[in-house]
Structure 1
Amino acid sequence: MQKKDLNPFRNYLILRIKKGVTNGKKLFHELQNQGFNGSYITLYRYLKEDLSDFWTKSSCKKTFPYKTQVKLNRAKYKTARIIDKTEPGKQAQVDWAHFGEVTINHKAEKLYCFVYILSFSRAIYIEFTTTQKLSVFETCHINAFKALGIPEEIVYDNTKTVIISNKKLPDGTRKINFNLGFLDFANFYGFEINPSPPYWPRNKGKVEAVIKYIRNNFMQGTKHQRNLTSLNELNHKATDWVNQIANARIHSNTHKRPLELWLTEKQFLHFPNGLPDYQVNPFLTRFSTKDQWIQYKQNFYSVPKEFSWKKLLLRETCQQGVKLVNIYFKNQLIAQHNLYTEKGQHIENPAHFKPKKTHPPRTNTTPEKAWKHYPQLKTRSLSYYDKLIS
């Protein structure tokens, strides 16, 4: 296929480039979805030669030094580059990435991305949130474990949700204080915590490379609505991108698709099948009122009519940073509300309250008074009654 076959896509490419999408691989996948059957090299030449006025970002085009310098640099590079090969099921790496801000429920929130990668297969799982709290961090782990599996150890940097302190002692050893909450989580799922040395990102270079890949591929040109209610739509797009592109591409180091290697690695991983989810937040016991309300943190949340005046369980959860109040009756979810921070509020779900019956206007069906049917007496003078007496 020749470059002229890309002319029908010219306007689309210019529009995407103006929106900030300069990654050739991402543009190539987008054109494939629109019916382009050519190769990536054809697209690259078209961008470089025919669309050079638009595709001029310096980061898109690698500039090399002179040939003599290239030979010297390549020689140094070959001696210095060491590819860390990990056994299947041995290790995973986890880190956070920051992607600016997003507006949720008319409130500006920071946007973070949880990144989980298996070191052998390079299979990844990502999830966007608005907070890095321990409860959200653990929930993202649970979702990643269900999707890809649990290795023997997971490498982390020195985030406070995992490691409180990591100090080097005079004898060269390190004294590490773990976050007891996350340590209990790791013991529950049976993996070891492998902390990275401070200021040494190469120790978790695989996850650092994935973050760069997400930033330059998936997030390029991705715009959000001005006001969102949740991050579900963004996470759905991220899941599709992971399944169709990230885990299906030919990896530059392994020269194989991560999904194919993961099928080989899968037998060395263990999954939380049949294991109940780790309780990130505890269940609390509450009694509902006869008016269908349940109290939590100085606010009142509605429940269905059939669950009034009953012993219920309440649990605060967080989905992608959006705090929710889940109400259960005998392990059955009966109500879900957004958590309110203002005090003294009544948070009502209209479906919990049946509308009042509207009665038709009353008609006067009362029978007429009996005295109205009595015979009327005539009015006579007193002289008439005197004659009767005499």
Structure 2
Amino acid sequence: MNINSNDLEDILAHALATIKRKMGESYSIEKVNLAELHRITGISRAKLRRLKKNGFVVKPNGNKGKKSDKTVLSGYEGVINNLLKGNVTNSEVIYERIQTLGYTGGLTTIKNYISENKFLIPAPREIVSPQGNRGRRYHTGPGENYQMDWGFVKVNTPEGASYQCACFAMICHHCGERYIEFFPNARQENLFIGMIHAFIYMGIPENVLTDNMKSVVIGRDVEGNPIWQKDYEIFMKTIGFHTKLCKCRHPFTKGKVERLVRFVKENFIVGRTFGNITDLNCDALIWCNEQNGRYHRAMDYVPAEVHSNECMHVAEILTMTAEIMKYLCPVRKISFDGFVNYEGRRFGVPYTYTRKTCRVMRKDFYLYIYDTDLTHQIAVHNITWSRKDSYAHDQYAIKEPEELPTAPVKAVITQKKETVPARGFEKFDFGKMVKWNG
């Protein structure tokens, strides 16, 4: 018999055998002293008393093998099932989503639930034919190359309609530091705004690697050299970087940013709801800070630490100048009724501004309207993202000039009480004009 065993039956058998040797022939189960048995085994007297009624036979618990009807995951199965049906199998993503709904359990519980419900995950697509030669990875030095690209997301509105939203993505090729920002469309002016914000966040590299965007390149010359789009070429010279174009139909060249766009769609976008693009960009910036400050096992380092210690010694700090500020404030025409259109909404311009164009800039939850030369601010609007027009305070009110006294007023005049005018038929009362005698 194993004396050191933790099994209850072994402990009781060993203790009863000890008591039997002491009592000898007078030993009996009914005469076992519970106090001595408690001293030998350490089991409480209440439990020993219950065991004695059964002849010190340990019976299994009546609830053994049963599962509780309510667990820590109760109420969240529907959310997890929908994510699994949408081919979201990342346990950390599911954990973060249900944590916002009040889940207090751990990550292991979610992993066990996923392994038990793999039948909900759609079947993977099988590759029938070989895909050709494998891609070859290449590496660049700190602050040498950034990769950028656009990604597109479909947004469903509460009214049942849908529209496309563009996600600008930029990543450092050396360390993996990333930056994303969402825009209503992928126009060139939004590309410039996204690049400037990324350079503020990550610094200016020597080269930016991108594909053949219409807003970047318009073609090739006879020698195969790129013909830059005119405004983009001016933008490159203003900021101070060079652009490299990747090979057509070869996504492996800028695979890091391609993978970042995919990671945004599979991690950041999944199961997320937002009020407007400003809210979405605030969440995106928090997400970038979390991902950049997290240890990446595949690279064996934290991207934010490597970027600050190595890449920022090569990358230049963006200095905000008047020329760069113009890219953040695109030009807009003022309509005949005093509105400018920005990101699908109309904002009012004061009547006192007489030019036909102005510049606008969205920052956080405000829209700033400046004059064409960026010398002074004209108006500020709260961005509610409603489809209704946002009017300026003095958009139509014309205040005429008024003179006010420059010295104390001493001249005094008295106004008499106003008489009530006579009624229309009183002029025909001839009795008032006759003088009666006596």
Q: Report TM bin, short chain.
A: 0.5 to 0.7
> Partners of 1:332 and 1:36 in 2: how far apart?
52
Matched, 1:57 2:122: yes
Could you give the per-residue CA deviations for residues 89-112 of structure 1, whole angstroms, max 9, x where no partner exists? 101000001112455999854211
Counting only pairs closer than 5 Å after superposition, residues 273-288 of structure 1 correspond to structure 2 as: 273-276=319-322, 277-280=324-327
SS at match of 1:14: helix
Could you give the per-residue CA deviations for residues 174-222 of structure 1, whole angstroms, max 9, x where no partner exists? 2311111101101111110001111111110110110111111111122
Could you give the per-residue CA deviations for residues 36-60 of structure 1, whole angstroms, max 9, x where no partner exists? 574x5664233202x445x43345x
Q: 1:253 to 1:313 in 2, by over 3 A?
A: farther
Paired AA for residue 212 in structure 1: R
Could you give the per-residue CA deviations for residues 132-184 of structure 1, whole angstroms, max 9, x where no partner exists? 111111011111111111110000100110011147x6xxx623111111011
- Which of the numbers 114, 120, 124 marks the counterpart of 1:47? 114
In structure 2, the partner of 1:335 is 379
In structure 2, the partner of 1:194 is 244
Instruction: Tell me how far 1:250 sits from its aligned partner.
Output: 2.9
> Partners of 1:208 and 1:283 in 2: how far apart?
28
| Contact kept in structure 2, 1:97 and 1:114, CA below 8 Å | yes
| Contact kept in structure 1, 2:97 and 2:271, CA below 8 Å | no
| Contact kept in structure 1, 2:208 and 2:241, CA below 8 Å | yes
Paired AA for residue 303 in structure 2: P
In structure 2, the partner of 1:235 is 281
Structure 2 unaligned spans of 5+: 1-67, 340-347, 383-388, 400-414, 421-431
> Partners of 1:113 and 1:142 in 2: how far apart?
15
In structure 2, the partner of 1:17 is 81
> Partners of 1:148 and 1:15 in 2: how far apart?
36
In structure 1, the partner of 2:317 is 271
| Contact kept in structure 2, 1:188 and 1:278, CA below 8 Å | no
> Partners of 1:330 and 1:318 in 2: how far apart?
11
Matched, 1:90 2:144: yes
> Partners of 1:161 and 1:97 in 2: how far apart?
15
In structure 2, the partner of 1:255 is 300
Counting only pairs closer than 5 Å after superposition, residues 36-185 of structure 1 correspond to structure 2 as: 38=106, 43-49=110-116, 51-52=117-118, 55-58=120-123, 82-101=136-155, 109-166=163-220, 174-185=224-235
Instruction: Tell me how far 1:278 sits from its aligned partner.
Output: 4.5
State the structure with more CA Rg.
Answer: 2
**Percentage of matched positions with identical amino acids:** 21
Q: 1:330 to 1:89 in 2, by over 3 A?
A: closer
Counting only pairs closer than 5 Å after superposition, residues 205-220 of structure 1 correspond to structure 2 as: 205-220=255-270
Paired AA for residue 121 in structure 2: T
Structure 1 unaligned spans of 5+: 64-72, 74-78, 286-294, 339-345, 357-364, 371-375, 385-390
SS at match of 2:338: strand
Instruction: Tell me how far 1:369 sits from its aligned partner.
Output: 5.7
Instruction: Tell me how far 1:351 sits from its aligned partner.
Output: 6.6
Q: 1:316 to 1:337 in 2, by over 3 A?
A: farther
SS at match of 1:141: helix
Q: TM-score normalized by structure 2? A: 0.60
> Partners of 1:240 and 1:262 in 2: how far apart?
18
| Contact kept in structure 1, 2:329 and 2:360, CA below 8 Å | no
Instruction: Tell me how far 1:296 sits from its aligned partner.
Output: 2.2
SS at match of 1:11: coil
Instruction: Tell me how far 1:234 sits from its aligned partner.
Output: 1.5
In structure 2, the partner of 1:28 is 95
Q: 1:330 to 1:266 in 2, by over 3 A?
A: closer
Instruction: Tell me how far 1:350 sits from its aligned partner.
Output: 4.5
SS at match of 1:116: strand
Q: 1:284 to 1:133 in 2, by over 3 A?
A: closer
SS at match of 1:98: strand
Higher normalized contact order (CA 8 Å, seq sep 6+, divided by chain length): 1
Could you give the per-residue CA deviations for residues 238-282 of structure 1, whole angstroms, max 9, x where no partner exists? 1222222x2233335412222222222222211213434242388
> Partners of 2:165 and 2:149 in 1: how far apart?
14
Could you give the per-residue CA deviations for residues 47-90 of structure 1, whole angstroms, max 9, x where no partner exists? 202x445x43345xx99xxxxxxxxx9xxxxx957442221110
SS at match of 2:358: strand
> Partners of 1:101 and 1:107 in 2: how far apart?
8
In structure 2, the partner of 1:76 is none
Instruction: Tell me how far 1:326 sits from its aligned partner.
Output: 2.0
The structure carrying a bigger strand percent of its residues is 1
Number of equivalences: 319
In structure 2, the partner of 1:326 is 369
Q: 1:80 to 1:36 in 2, by over 3 A?
A: farther
Paired AA for residue 348 in structure 1: Y
| Contact kept in structure 2, 1:93 and 1:206, CA below 8 Å | yes
Paired AA for residue 212 in structure 2: N
| Contact kept in structure 2, 1:16 and 1:221, CA below 8 Å | no
In structure 2, the partner of 1:348 is 391
Q: TM-score normalized by structure 1? A: 0.67
> Partners of 2:269 and 2:320 in 1: how far apart?
35
SS at match of 2:417: coil
> Partners of 1:284 and 1:156 in 2: how far apart?
26
Could you give the per-residue CA deviations for residues 312-371 of structure 1, whole angstroms, max 9, x where no partner exists? 694244759xxx782449733232579xxxxxxx97335767899xxxxxxxx952669x
The CA RMSD measured in Å over matched residues stands at 4.5
